Amino acid sequence: MTLDVALHFGTLLALLVYFRKDIILLLKAFFFSLNRRHTYSEEEKTYVRLVWWIILGTIPVVVVALIFKKNIEATFASAIPSAIFLLVTGTYMALADIFATPRKAIGQLNSGSALVIGISQAIALLPGISRSGTTLSTGMFFGLKREDAARFAFLLAIPALLGAFLLEIVTVPLGDLSIWLMLLGIVVSFGVGFLCIHFFLRFLKKNRLLWFSAYCWAFGLFALIMLLWG
């Protein structure tokens, strides 16, 4: 559990560093939105909407995590649900790739879409449901371009990861793990997370989600067969 905390922190740092410009603009937009006399530029209007859509989209995962924490943790007792939900994730991404009509920019997102994307993030608390894959696919169903849907999915992850990290850090005895192992976990998860975000966003500009669907199907099916065979 202590190592999990370190890994979550490294991943969170990767998001904060990669999207640092967006985060600064979102923080400014939040405080601007509290001042009704402020005159907005077009960019500021986009970020004001975006920061409130992120707040709205975070509410479902907070509610579900607080109410159904024990039920969700119970699903981790067996690896079989993870394998099954990997197949579900692959199918959902494939449906989004085939049937969605992604044409909107991130600034065209509305409150209803943000809330449903947030609900899909809450569903991803279940093992085997990819958080980024699910929120990205839901964004595409609402017409967002692949790269814009992925960008919103990553920004939406920041408050969720921060909340999870804060909840874990207060319950974990940090003396259980060497400080050097924790630092190593943070450094590695930061580096891998940063590179994954960078190449994933570049990949989505020209490629389809079916590649990720195929991975989820292959690994989910392999895991399910191995688990059922004991």
Tens-place pLDDT, residues 43-71: 778 898 999 999 999 999 999 988 988 88
pLDDT at 173: 66
Look at phi and psi of residue 127 and say left if phi exceeds 0, alpha if psi is from -120 to 50, else beta: beta
pLDDT of residue 191: 97
Q: Which two tokens stand for residue 183?
A: 């630092």
Give the start-to-end residue ranges of the domains of the chain. Answer: 2-228
Phi, psi at 104, each rounded to 5°: -90, 150
Give the model's pLDDT for residue 174.
58
In this structure, the chain runs to a length of: 230
0.85 cut: is pTM over it?
Answer: yes
Cα 73 to Cα 65, 66, 70, 99, 127, distances in angstroms = 10, 12, 5, 33, 9
Residues of the chain below pLDDT 70:
1, 38, 172-177
Q: Is the Cβ–Cβ distance between 125 and 65 less than 8 Å?
A: yes
Q: What is the pLDDT of residue 45?
A: 84
pLDDT tens-digit profile of 146-181? 999 999 999 999 998 888 888 777 776 656 667 788
Q: What is the pLDDT of residue 76?
A: 84
pLDDT of residue 38: 66
CA 165 to centroid of chain Cα atoms: 14
